Amino acid sequence: MRAFVYSSLPSRVVFRAGALDDLAAEIDRLGAHRALVLSTPEQRASADDVSKRLGARSVGVYDKAVMHVPIETAQAAREMAKSLNADCCVAIGGGSTIGLGKAIALTSDLPILAIPTTFAGSEMTPIYGITAEGQKKTGRDPRVLPKTVIYDPLLTMTLPANIAGPSGMNAVAHCVEALYAQDANPITSLMAEEGISALASSLPRAVSKPDNLDARAEALYGAWLAGACLGNVGMALHHKLCHTLGGSFNLPHAQTHTIILPHAVRYNRDAALVAMARIGRALARSDLPGASPAATLYDLAQKIGAPLALRDIGMKADSLDEAARLATQNPYYNPRPIEYAAIRQLLQDAWEGLRPG
């Protein structure tokens, strides 16, 4: 008999091209009146547009969000929210900006309305991360889950292909690991398979024809499903490797996910047969005739023009031993036991950019 635990996370999702027009009404629905708008410096213009749409409901813009939420940035944003007497945060951007909103919510309980503009999926999770003294600490707290998420595919149209593709592969990775998670459950697995399918079919079109709204919308739909998977079940080897490479070797987040994913799937191939069958079935929509899920994921990354080798994104060959050592310390659950020699080989293959056989 099948046994499982499934917790649904409470958030409201509004998904449609043009959904940003609902922003003021959604803030009213939250019962908020004084929004602090968050963005990266690069997305300041989008934040100003959001602030304008909110009119008197906006009390200011904080535009200093950066990758991995440095504690100093979090503290400055928390102070600004406090001094302006904000009663909610509106985060427009990718995982970095939404992560900053979460850092504010963690100590203030301010509700977050998230407007994601990448495919990273943070908006659907109660997971936060803050970096202090070079160490990123992550945790789960229901207070940081955005109360409302506005998915407007029009906002992803400006995402350049070299960010859109890897960001989408980051989402695929959440779905893949959800299928062999220790606490996998039938609902999350449905979402994961559908998420891979939506992303695999849309990413090549979203990247080759950046003005294809349908492709961007389908990728965003896949990203929503992927975020829901990440928020609901635990991740495994792939995410552990990416956290190690990002945290200790400062590699770029989405590109690292893109490169490692085929190799992590190859590693787990024989230990998660049902998950592999589902991943293979979902990837069939990519029209890439890969011999295995691992090879197809590699081909998908290649098709969208993403980097394929760790050596091309700044990883030094003489750091691979240390990376393997860190990644095998306190390992996450993984369907196949974590062995140093095999992980060292995986990292070597990923460093060279080999197609998993």
The residues that touch ligand NAD, with contacts defined as CB under 6 A, are 40, 42-43, 67-68, 93-97, 99, 117-118, 120-122, 125, 127, 129, 155-156, 158-159, 163, 167, 230, 253-254
Minimum Å gap between C-beta 113 and ligand NAD is 16
As a whole number of angstroms, the distance between CA 197 and CA 286 comes to 8
Name the residue number minimizing CB distance to ligand NAD: 95
Minimum Å gap between C-beta 223 and ligand NAD is 9
Query: What are the tokens at 289?
Result: 């005739």
CA angle 75, 109, 11 (to 5 degrees): 120
Minimum Å gap between C-beta 214 and ligand NAD is 17
Nearer to ligand NAD, 43 or 232 (CB): 43
Minimum Å gap between C-beta 184 and ligand NAD is 18
Nearer to ligand NAD, 192 or 295 (CB): 192
Nearer to ligand NAD, 66 or 342 (CB): 66
Nearer to ligand NAD, 42 or 214 (CB): 42
Nearer to ligand NAD, 332 or 356 (CB): 332
Nearer to ligand NAD, 70 or 293 (CB): 70
Minimum Å gap between C-beta 28 and ligand NAD is 26
Minimum Å gap between C-beta 158 and ligand NAD is 4
Minimum Å gap between C-beta 153 and ligand NAD is 10
Q: Which candidate, 233, 254, 246, places its Cα nearest to that of 126?
A: 233
Minimum Å gap between C-beta 253 and ligand NAD is 4
